[in-house]
Structure 1
């Protein structure tokens, strides 16, 4: 029995290691390609050089596109967090006839083809005379990521205990004060998780951006495609390495923020604490 458990554990370790290698190997190939001395993206590289990192510094369009992506993603996430939280609050805490239908309507962009939404946005925002700029993209991307916020925040609201809100109401607090002092602090984790997912999704969004934006407002994915149409050098791999570093930095920031949430450590470490105490 003991040998069987050890053999199973060994197989699990081997499987986990193989999955880790499979996930990390493409990233390692990108890293090696970014320092290749050849004039084209080849693997394995003929030699090692940092000239393509210097070449990235000369491509100012990437920096402008990165700023546009940050502005569009941040604006869309903030708008989706506000509207999604209010919608979830209305549906969960103040149910009304047709709330389920309204929830399904809000979640529908998750299953709708993104190119269809992009065309619809193009027609709508052209009629409104706002197509071509980042404001139109923010509005469109906010609708696309709204289902993530509504689902996560709605689940968190459904699991909240009403005792604190009822106690605050008994003490004379109004609905707004209850929301900002009781409900909103308990939603910090779900807001952070849904905002992080929405930010990653919008930062890499192509369909709506390709249809809505003018040339001076292009985001980073569009500029990468335009660059690859003209050149096939390792500069694209360099941009990918920079984005990987940016994602890792964002992950570390989120991890630090999660550590600062009161009670979160005990939430994840509850089982360990119970085992140590013998429960």
Structure 2
């Protein structure tokens, strides 16, 4: 290998390491703050203790808020997956005049300011007399994450081989049977990826939830925000560390599901071989 090429390689390694350190540094600071022995959140910590972790069990509002976040995110993701998949199916596989305009309309929540959507939802749901509860939040968040589902599932549908559907139709299968037995199994990976991204995005949603929800239905981000207005102890850092561990566990669980899915290993392997060749 020429010396000039080796120098460029080490420069890339150093730059990648610096970027990785920059991304990990805030998380390390949160971790150290969570074990601080001081009565307030500050860095560097005065000492190390696990006392704040033991006190977390006494903060019942965080457990209830976590449950609300899980319910709201799961409901919004399920609704977005169903509606987004049907919309992608109509736009990609059944061409009609104005489908580009319809797709742009469905993608518009991605660029819309979230605070604007929150105000709009507050007015709409107040007129519908459902504002303040998790059901309203599920409806609102499903619209916000719909573009992610439409984009990912739509790309997967566009890359499917139409010969499979045509063969099923030649054998006498109807549209519904073709969808559930041919199309849907080929979309499993895309649905999993879209659902994972949508779940993480909705779980961390603050602007819309802050305007829609009332006390008793608060999600975890809102509860953390309200707690920080009154207290400055490391409890917030402790909850943040727990959320980081939850996100890592979710990531490895998704990776395990992807690796264990039938045909995924062969698909990834074939793509890798094509790139190498």
Superposed CA deviations along residues 100-122 of structure 1, whole A, max 9, x for unmatched, are 11111111111111111111111
Aligned Cα RMSD in Å? 1.4
Change (3 A) 1:272 1:184: closer
Equivalent in the alignment of 1:42 = 42
Q: What residue is the counterpart of 2:202 in the other structure?
A: 202
1:44-193 equivalences under 5 Å are: 44-193=44-193
Q: Quick check: 9-18 or 127-136, which moved more? A: 9-18
Deviations 1:46-96 (A, max 9, x none): 111111111211110000000000000000000000000001101111111
Q: In the aligned structure 2, how far is the partner of 1:21 from the partner of 1:263?
A: 36
Shift of 1:258: 0.8
How many residues are treated as equivalent by the alignment? 277
Write the distance in 2 (CA, Å) between the matches of 1:111 and 1:21.
30
- Is the alpha carbon distance of 1:99 and 1:65 closer, same or farther for their aligned partners in structure 2, counting shifts above 3 Å? same
CA shift, 1:272, in A, is 5.0
Q: Which residue of 1 aligns with 2:232?
A: 232
Q: Give unmatched runs, 5+ long, in structure 2.
A: none
Match of 2:221 in 1: 221
Compared CA separation, residues 94 and 239, structure 1 to 2 (3 A): same
Does residue 247 of structure 2 align to residue 247 of structure 1?
yes
2-structure distance, mates of 1:275, 1:187: 23
Query: How big is each residue's C-alpha offset from its partner over 1:152-189, in whole Å with a ceiling of 9 and x where there is no partner?
Result: 11111111110110000000111111000100011111
For residues 98-156 of structure 1, what are the alpha-carbon distances to aligned partners after superposition, in whole Å with 9 as ceiling and x for unaligned? 21111111111111111111111111111111111000000000000000101111111
Question: Aligned residue for 2:270?
Answer: 270
Cα distance in structure 2, aligned partners of 1:260 and 1:149:
23
**Residue aligned with 1:237, SS:** helix
Distance 1:132 1:271, change over 3 A: closer
Distance (whole Å) between structure 1 residues aligned to residue 270 and residue 93 of structure 2: 29
- Structure 1 position 262, deviation (Å): 2.7
**1:261 equivalent in structure 2:** 261
Would you identify which runs of 4 or more consecutive aligned residues in structure 1 move more than 6 Å? Answer: none
What SS does the aligned partner of 2:216 have?
helix
Residue 265 of structure 1, CA deviation:
2.2
Identify which range, 61-70 or 95-104, moves more after superposition: 95-104
What is the CA distance between 1:21 and its match in structure 2?
1.0
Question: C-alpha distance in 2, partners of 1:203/1:22?
Answer: 24
